[in-house]
Amino acid sequence: MAQGESYLFYGPEIGEKQDAMAEIKQRFIFRIYGDEQAQPNIETTTFYPGETSSADIAAFLFTGSLFSDGRVVYVKNIDAFKESETKNIASYICAPVENTLLFMTSDETKPDKTLETACGKRNTRVFWELFDHQKPQWLRNYWQKQGFRLTDDAVDTLLEMIENNTDALRGECSRLMMFFRNEQKAAGVQGPLTVDAAAIEKHLSHTRNESAFTLFSAIAAGDLQKSLEILHALLAAQESPVSIFAGLGWNYHKFRDYCGLYEKGLAGNDFELKKIGITTPKAKKDYPLAFKNYGHAASRFISITSEFDMLLRAEGSALKETLMDVYLHRIMRERLPSLQNRFDK
């Protein structure tokens, strides 16, 4: 038997958050079986606010598992619950069920006080984005583990093209590595392969897929046609609306932070921009452009996204493409009044 555990993980650094949960889950399973080679019979369940009430989530947690040796339960976007609602989950955290591992996650940076008190400081953590000075070494280490050496200009080139969180860094770099491994094998090269900026740029066009981040860039520019093209490419590639919304939400929260800097007259201050994770030339272009086209619409973007996220979960896949198209049109309607006629023609 393993004692029930609960963790409250906040912050925008998706990759490190996922790594931490995977490590805790591995330890948890080992405590149940006492054998790293065991084939675990573990039930995994995910809940979202707006889809399941906090009372129902707490009831599920208290019930325990009848058909598996253990459970891993994820409650995502936990910040969407009000404090009065989180008390239901906090009551479970204070009396956890054996062989149940609970993760509560959010991209926000300020943990709910009720849940933080219930989980304790030890099990509460905010995963911040990598600081600018941390990213080069992270990249070098990651590529070195895979058998590659990066030149300084290759590191700079990668940092120009990739978003700040390690999940995005890993995804982009893994795609690039496939090309280099094939070339290395074809050339019969042994040992670590040195990769420079020219090699990165050569393969970039082959690996650069559309993503929620390129979609945000098109939205920031107020380009409805380009936004629809990127959206349909993502859906055709079987990208789920949930993951698209998650990526857009990450950008919208950062847009809201940018709006806050603008109000203080600090939007042109590189140091202040760096503090909220706006460091790359692409980001320094996207967020001011979004502000120029939409003004202080970031909070409305977040609200609209939450609304359509719940709609899509309720309707299933039948209306997926239609609802996503409507979503983009709804976002574009937030353009500043002075720009509406120019864009809507």
| Domain stops at, among 164, 180, 207 | 207
Same domain membership, residue 250 and residue 330? yes
Task: Indicate the burial class of 236 (C-beta count within 10 angstroms; 0-12, 13-18, 19 or more).
Answer: exposed
Looking at residue 287, its pLDDT comes to 93
Looking at residue 207, its pLDDT comes to 52
Same domain membership, residue 332 and residue 221? yes
Per-residue pLDDT tens, the chain, 345 aa: give them: 688 999 999 988 888 898 899 999 999 999 988 876 667 889 999 998 888 999 999 999 999 887 899 999 999 989 989 888 999 999 999 999 999 999 999 988 889 999 999 999 999 999 987 777 888 898 999 899 888 999 988 888 787 766 656 777 777 788 788 888 877 777 777 767 888 888 887 776 555 567 888 899 999 999 999 999 999 888 887 778 887 888 898 889 989 999 999 988 988 888 888 778 787 777 888 999 999 999 999 999 999 998 998 888 776 666 788 999 999 999 999 998 766 554 444
Same domain membership, residue 96 and residue 120? yes
Q: How many domains does the chain have?
A: 3
Q: What CATH number has the domain bearing residue 251?
A: 1.20.272.10
- Domain residues for 199? 135-207
| Domain stops at, among 104, 126, 148 | 126
Same domain membership, residue 240 and residue 145? no
| Domain stops at, among 97, 126, 155 | 126
- Cα distance between residue 69 and residue 213, in whole Å: 39
Same domain membership, residue 278 and residue 200? no
User: DSSP H helical segments within 52-191, as ranges?
Assistant: 54-63, 83-93, 113-119, 135-145, 152-161, 166-187
Looking at residue 165, its pLDDT comes to 65
Same domain membership, residue 228 and residue 142? no
Same domain membership, residue 321 and residue 200? no
Looking at residue 318, its pLDDT comes to 64
Same domain membership, residue 89 and residue 56? yes
CB of 124 within 8 A of CB of 109? no
Looking at residue 173, its pLDDT comes to 84
Q: Which residues contact 295 (CB under 8 A, 6 or more apart)?
A: 336
Looking at residue 23, its pLDDT comes to 94
Same domain membership, residue 338 and residue 227? yes
Looking at residue 61, its pLDDT comes to 96
Looking at residue 208, its pLDDT comes to 57
Looking at residue 60, its pLDDT comes to 96
Same domain membership, residue 298 and residue 190? no
Q: What CATH number has the domain bearing residue 28?
A: 3.40.50.300
Same domain membership, residue 45 and residue 92? yes
- Other beta carbons within 10 Å of 188: 6
Same domain membership, residue 187 and residue 116? no
Looking at residue 138, its pLDDT comes to 87
CA 255, 257, 260, 262 torsion: positive or negative? Answer: negative
- Other beta carbons within 10 Å of 162: 20
Q: Is the pTM of this model over 0.85?
A: no
Looking at residue 330, its pLDDT comes to 95
Q: What CATH number has the domain bearing residue 173?
A: 1.10.8
